[in-house]
Structure 1
Amino acid sequence: MVNPPGSLAFYILSFRVLIALHGAALVFIMLMGTGAISSVFVPAFLRLPLFVFLMGVVSAFLALCWSQWTLVWHSSRTGRRWAWIPGFCSAFFLALSLALFVIGVWGTLGLADLAYQHSEWLTGQ
């Protein structure tokens, strides 16, 4: 059986790593949107990656909340039998947050490639 404090520490560490990844991506997107970093993007193109990275942050937060429920259910006598439910939900939201990070990076690179290939759309020529 999994030791609850150890599994909670794993979820907290995973939460920190995913929040750092999503936070760095959000800062980078915001710097590109404001023009502090020169890019080929029109700021309107950055709405979708911004939304995806924000949903990744929300998903990582939900994983942390579900890991707290896992600890509470492991601590109760009657809840040990069903403690796999919040554990599964927490692992699901961690995986979803990681998948959203990959999708956000892939989508941002795809938008950059599209904007670079069709730069005449942006200049109006």
Structure 2
Amino acid sequence: MKAGALAVMLVLLSTAPALCEEPDPEHGKTLFRACAFCHTLTPDGGNRAGPTLWNLFGRTAGAVEGYRYSPALKDSGIVWNEDTVARLFEVGPDAMTPGSKMPLQTIPSAEDRADLVAYLKAATAP
């Protein structure tokens, strides 16, 4: 590669946003505020309009004791992990679990979804 082309490439790479930025859980915490109306994060937080998210990752959808799930979610077979949580907010509950009680909420930005997932993974871990 010629020196001029290499210099241009280095300038472009140094000014471009990082393609593999680490998720920002603090930003995810800010995003979670909209979810906090319906969900708690702690084992003693209880259920609200939605179930507690405590111990969410690895849990089968519809498995929190004492929460009355819609048949659509309870029978979905979803196991919550980074991909399924991100997908829920990418396509929306109406598309991922049609007939569930969760109101339509999407997060268009992949970076924002990653930030929310990172926050939830840390905040809901036993």
TM-score category of the 2 structures, normalised to the smaller one: under 0.3
TM-score, with structure 1 as normaliser: 0.27
TM-score, with structure 2 as normaliser: 0.27
Structure with more of its chain in helix, by fraction: 1
